[in-house]
Amino acid sequence: MALGDFSGVIPPAMSTTIIQEVLQSSAAMRLCSRLPMGTGVTQMPIPKTLPTASWVTSASGRKPYTNVGLQTATVTAEEVAAVIAIPDKMVEDSSINLWNYCRPLLSQAIAVALDGAVIFGLNAPASFPIGGIMAEAVPVNAGLDAIDTINKTMAQVEAQALNPTGHASDLTNRALIRGLRATTNELIFGTTQIDNYQVPSIYGLPASYIPFQNKQGANPADFVTGDWTYAILGVRSDIRYLVDPSAVIADSAGVVQVSGFQDNVTPMKVWARFGFALLRPVTVQQPGGARAFAKSDLHATAGTAPTAADADEQGGDGVQRRTTDQAAESSKKR
């Protein structure tokens, strides 16, 4: 099989398989509202003000005037990529399925990068909100135990007139709540079904357990819940890749780590494009814009707040944004 046969656009069946595997391992892909992107930039109209209704009491029956203000949210597709080195013997041996070898690695790399940028704001492109969902989430003090803390965190979202739709939790929390039973002996937490997959649930809502990244301070938040319909994840359907047996893989300093020619390996580059935006919806309780997420530390003692992140600059809509200088610096790094 010629090496050139591997280059180009990943076949739809393979692309779908990778997306499905990312969906199972990425909290962002599982919980966020996914927006198919046909172009590099997509603009979404969202309400800025809510209409009001009044009773008609005049004799003329004239109806009261109200207004719905709109604003635009922009989702910009950014590139995420991974480069791996495939041993030549695996390329040459037709009895070995190349995709079975590299697909899990690629899926894991995409999932970690997505969650890092979307949820934790790590290595995020300039168009993504600073700090991700964790920076936007309202901190909630710990309750009497982990279950009480989860309930209080959900209540914070509900106080904004929003309904929580799912949870992202640090993998270590699974041991805290696994096997818990009510006084009538039934399991408190079970499973629910999303896209033909059985996933864990907490209070009937899907829960995604992932290793939380960038945990800092004495009591870092290890649980976040919210209305994930206001976390917009733009997804481009095409996943492209290129195989070059003579390519080299270098680190960020330009030092060659792998030489395809010298090390008898074939470097493979895979890249895709995702966009992300956080919305602050107007609600009856929060006409200026509600914060759709809340976070807490399930391991903390009662009354303890999760460690606060450093203050970030915020835009006029309240969602954290990079300054011009920060965006320019981020572009240089990319």
Nearest to 132 by CA among 63, 16, 45, 214: 214
Query: Mean pLDDT score of the chain, rounded to an integer?
Result: 80
CA 264 – CA 199 distance, rounded (Å): 41
CA 246 – CA 297 distance, rounded (Å): 49
Least confident of 193-202, 249-258, 287-296: 193-202
Q: Which domains does the chain show, CATH number per domain?
A: 3-48+70-333 (3.90.1690)
Q: If you search the block for the tokens 């039934």, which residue do you land on?
A: 186
Local confidence band at 224 (pLDDT 50, 70, 90 cut-offs): very high
Name, of 3-17, 249-263, 317-331, the range with top average pLDDT. Answer: 249-263
Nearest-10 Cα torsion for 141, 142, 143, 146: 150
Local confidence band at 32 (pLDDT 50, 70, 90 cut-offs): very high
Could you tell me the two tokens for 264? 């008898």
Q: Dihedral of CA 88/90/18/213: which sign?
A: negative
CA 331 – CA 13 distance, rounded (Å): 33
146 CB-near residues (< 8 Å, 6+ apart): 173, 176, 177, 298, 299
Distances in Å between the Cα of 157 and the Cα atoms of 29, 78, 208, 302 are: 21, 29, 18, 19
CA 323 – CA 130 distance, rounded (Å): 10
Could you tell me the two tokens for 69? 């203000």
212 CB-near residues (< 8 Å, 6+ apart): 120, 170, 171, 220, 221, 222
Q: If you search the block for the tokens 């990244």, which residue do you land on?
A: 213
CA 71 – CA 56 distance, rounded (Å): 30
Nearest to 155 by CA among 332, 314, 296, 302: 296
Higher pLDDT, 299 or 310: 299
CA 298 – CA 282 distance, rounded (Å): 29
Q: How much is the average pLDDT of 93-114?
A: 74
Local confidence band at 110 (pLDDT 50, 70, 90 cut-offs): confident
pLDDT above 50 for 324: no
Nearest-10 Cα torsion for 176, 178, 184, 190: 130
pLDDT (tens digit per residue) in 54-98: 888 877 888 888 777 777 888 999 999 888 888 887 767 656 667
Tell me the percentage of the chain whose pLDDT exceeds 70.
77
Tell me the percentage of the chain whose pLDDT exceeds 90.
31
pLDDT above 60 for 333: no
Distances in Å between the Cα of 197 and the Cα atoms of 62, 157, 179, 183, 193 are: 53, 26, 21, 29, 5
Q: How much is the average pLDDT of 160-188?
A: 85
CB 37 within 8 A of CB 235: yes
Length of the chain: 334
Local confidence band at 4 (pLDDT 50, 70, 90 cut-offs): very low
CA 162 – CA 286 distance, rounded (Å): 10
Angle between helix 12-25 and helix 98-118 axes, rounded to 10 deg: 50
Local structure of 175: helix, strand or coil:
helix
Which residues lie across from 78 on neighbouring strands? Answer: 274
Nearest-10 Cα torsion for 184, 186, 187, 188: -50
Q: How much is the average pLDDT of 317-333?
A: 44
